[in-house]
């Protein structure tokens, strides 16, 4: 069990600290343990102050809205940073959209449509925030963040606010090569001029497609495994006989085999155990090792 650090040992901030803070209601799986300390910074400068002044041995973990995250049942030691709504501002500047890291991807897509910016419709189909999308080069329907990326701002571990170019981000499939310690606070994305009504129509079509093929109303972490080169993860999982497979209260979705769902009160161990079972079955059947797309953090 984690021993909580007293708040007075942490640097003074304008945001808020919370000890032994429950996290399960902050993530889409609705499972997992607590944060030893949960920190919500007031703004980027407050975040920078914290990172500059924090004890050197204090672990730091960043979470967004938890759409692609599994927090293990033992919780997360150290400080968990969750950017509040003040980091979610969105503005359009011509064909560019500037979005705070806490802005929901879907909200950014809608704001772009209203501003007559085309090319960002795919964000409507990605759960989570812009910060998470930057970290994992999120994408769907043939487009990904790297296709629309201009620049990002982040805070490094010393509390310095830095600007990153596309080269700095080193995007590859479902991953950014930017240093793990960077905490993204803002991104600039570029589309092209478009008619708002046409953009909204394309976006609505993507939403209908997603809702018809994915268990979007279930307690899930989204797409579980990356597509191996030349294969689709869901097909491998299905052909390995895993559709509907259960581990405790966790289940492989009947609707889309690359989604794991919490059918009730599944623990994080249930969900991760099911995922490892799926990986083992696919490996035995096809000799292919599925790679987790969902990020797993914390103490088992």
The predicted pLDDT at position 141 comes to 85
Q: What is the pLDDT of residues 160-191, one digit of tens each?
A: 999 999 999 999 999 999 999 999 999 999 99
The predicted pLDDT at position 34 comes to 98
pLDDT exceeds cutoff 80 at 212: yes
Q: For residue 209, what pLDDT band results from cuts at 50, 70 and 90?
A: confident
Please state whether beta strands 76-82 and 60-63 pair in parallel, antiparallel, or not at all (unpaired): parallel
Beta strand extents in 106-262 (DSSP E only): 117-118, 139-140, 143-144, 149-155, 161-164, 183-190, 192-193, 219-223, 246-247, 250-252, 259-262
Q: What are phi and psi of 260, to 5 degrees?
A: -100, 140
Instruction: Give the angle 50-137-179 at the CA atoms, nearest 5°.
Output: 40
- Determine which of 8-12, 17-21, 140-144, 256-260 has the lowest per-residue pLDDT on average: 8-12
Q: What is the mean pLDDT of the chain?
A: 95
Q: For residue 216, what pLDDT band results from cuts at 50, 70 and 90?
A: confident
Q: What's the predicted TM-score (pTM) here?
A: 0.90
**Which string of b and e fits 197-215 if b means at least 16 CB within 10 Å?**
eebbebbeebbeebeeebb
The predicted pLDDT at position 122 comes to 95
Known catalytic residues? 174, 223, 293
CB 78 within 8 A of CB 59: yes
Looking at the DSSP bridge assignments, the partners of residue 41 are none
Multiple choice CATH, 215-297, 3.30.43.10, 3.30.2010.10, 3.90.78.10, 3.40.50.300: 3.90.78.10
pLDDT exceeds cutoff 80 at 7: no
The HSE-up count of residue 129 (CA atoms within 13 Å, CB side) is 29
pLDDT exceeds cutoff 90 at 33: yes
Q: What is the pLDDT of residues 125-146, one digit of tens each?
A: 898 999 999 999 999 888 999 9
Q: What is the pLDDT of residues 235-270, one digit of tens each?
A: 999 999 999 999 999 999 999 999 999 999 999 999
d(CA 273, CA 250): 9
What would be the CATH architecture of the domain defined by 7-85?
2-Layer Sandwich (3.30)
Q: For residue 206, what pLDDT band results from cuts at 50, 70 and 90?
A: confident
Q: For residue 1, what pLDDT band results from cuts at 50, 70 and 90?
A: very low
Instruction: Determine whether 109 is exposed, middle or buried from the number of CB atoms within 10 Å of its CB (0-12, 13-18, 19+).
Output: buried
Q: What is the pLDDT of residues 67-121, one digit of tens each?
A: 999 999 999 999 999 999 999 999 999 999 999 999 999 999 999 999 999 999 9
What one-character DSSP code corresponds to residue 151?
E
The domain limits of the chain are: 7-85, 88-202, 215-297
Q: 10 Å Cβ neighbour count for 185?
A: 22
- Fold matches, 7-85 and 88-202: no
CB 191 within 8 A of CB 118: yes
What would be the CATH architecture of the domain defined by 88-202?
2-Layer Sandwich (3.30)
CB 37 within 8 A of CB 79: yes
CB 171 within 8 A of CB 208: no
The predicted pLDDT at position 3 comes to 52
Helix (H) and strand (E) counts in the chain? 7, 19
């Amino acid at each position: 069990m984690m021993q909580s650090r007293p708040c007075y040992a942490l640097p003074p901030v304008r945001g808020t600290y919370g000890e032994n803070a429950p996290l399960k209601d902050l993530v889409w799986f609705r499972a997992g343990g607590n944060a030893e300390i949960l920190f919500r910074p007031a703004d980027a400068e407050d975040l920078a102050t914290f990172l500059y002044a924090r004890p050197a041995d204090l672990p730091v973990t960043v979470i967004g809205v938890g759409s692609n995250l599994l927090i293990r049942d033992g919780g997360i030691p150290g400080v968990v940073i969750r950017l509040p709504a003040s980091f979610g501002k969105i503005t359009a500047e011509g064909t560019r959209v500037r979005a705070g890291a806490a802005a929901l991807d879907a909200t950014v897509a809608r704001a772009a449509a209203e501003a007559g910016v085309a090319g960002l419709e795919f964000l409507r189909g990605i759960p989570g925030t812009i910060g998470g999308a930057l970290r994992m080069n999120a994408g769907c329907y043939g487009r990904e963040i790297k296709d629309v990326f201009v620049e990002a701002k982040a805070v490094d571990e010393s509390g310095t606010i830095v600007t990153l170019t596309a080269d700095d981000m080193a995007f590859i499939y479902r991953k950014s090569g930017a240093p793990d310690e960077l905490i993204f606070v803002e991104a600039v994305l570029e589309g092209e001029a478009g008619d708002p009504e046409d953009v909204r129509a394309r976006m609505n079509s993507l939403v209908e497609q997603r809702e018809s093929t994915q268990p979007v109303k279930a307690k899930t972490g989204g797409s579980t495994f990356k597509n191996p080169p030349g294969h689709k993860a869901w097909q491998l999982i299905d052909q390995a006989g895993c559709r509907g497979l259960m581990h405790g209260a966790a289940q492989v979705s009947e609707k889309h085999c690359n989604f794991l769902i919490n059918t009730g009160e599944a623990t994080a161990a249930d969900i991760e155990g099911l995922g490892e079972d799926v990986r083992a079955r696919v490996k035995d059947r096809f000799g292919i090792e599925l790679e987790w797309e969902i990020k797993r953090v914390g103490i088992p």
